[in-house]
Structure 1
Amino acid sequence: MAGQNPINLILEELDKNGKKFEYILDKILKAGVSIMNNTEELKEELIGFDDIYQTCIIDVNLSYWLEVSHGKLHYEKGVNPQALFKMVFSRDLFIKILKDEIGGADAFMKGKIKVEGSLSQGLRYIKLFRTFFKYLIKKNGLNYLTSI
């Protein structure tokens, strides 16, 4: 465990703690939103992404949404009926994507991710995560998720 990067440790916890999955994911998302909203270079990346992005992890009955509005990111648990973009997938697939064991586009092409909404919304949603992880890699020297 020594020498392992913090992201891998968090993802291992997320993967092995089925009962704590929602709690751990909630903490990850809240931390990510806070970093995005309080880091000037990341806030600039949010400009022009105004939309509501819904995510549903079906096998654990978990839904959350992210809203980008005026250069700020907001996160809530639950379903937002105003969301025009929605992604639906399983817990295991979600973890595999986060661990970079499968790419989101590859999973979509194989029919493992169900998407409702436009292609441009989907690309913006993906860019939100790519921007955040690239920032973490740059700031922490992490070699994780380099293919994003």
Structure 2
Amino acid sequence: MLQLKQKLYNACLSYVQSRINTTQQAINTAQQAGKDDTKSSAGDKYETGREMAQQEENRNVAQLNEANKLKVALNFINPTHTSPLAEAGSLIFTNKGNFYLSISAGTLNVDGQVYFAVSPASPIGLQLKGKRRGDEFSLNGHLYSIQNII
């Protein structure tokens, strides 16, 4: 089971690295677009193009910062650690699905099984944190029963 947690951890790392790479590429493209814009006789057009490129770059920098925050959050998780309480890094099996309490990375397919990577700060993450095997909780009208925690 620890191998499974390691695979989920690696899948989250891959997700974050992909976001970082994509965003960095978009920043580079926006920077190049701003540099490539040549001043024409219509000065306003030039300034508008540069401003749009700058705004795009700013949006991408914000996304890059968010992706880096996810990477930092993952750095605090030890995939080999186990606890009877659900905490960051826990793999939680419920009657409504399997959750990896880590970062919000969406659905992960590992070894043919579906897992949901959720942040401890998300609504379901807040419900899961601190729970033990056998505990139940209700979220959005659904009753979740914790079957196992690794």
Please say whether Structure 1 and Structure 2 have the same fold, judged by a TM-score greater than 0.5: no
Q: Which gives a bigger RCO, structure 1 or 2 (Cα 8 Å, sep 6+)?
A: 2
TM-score (norm 1): 0.24
Query: Which is greater in Rg?
Result: 2
TM-score, L = length of structure 2: 0.23
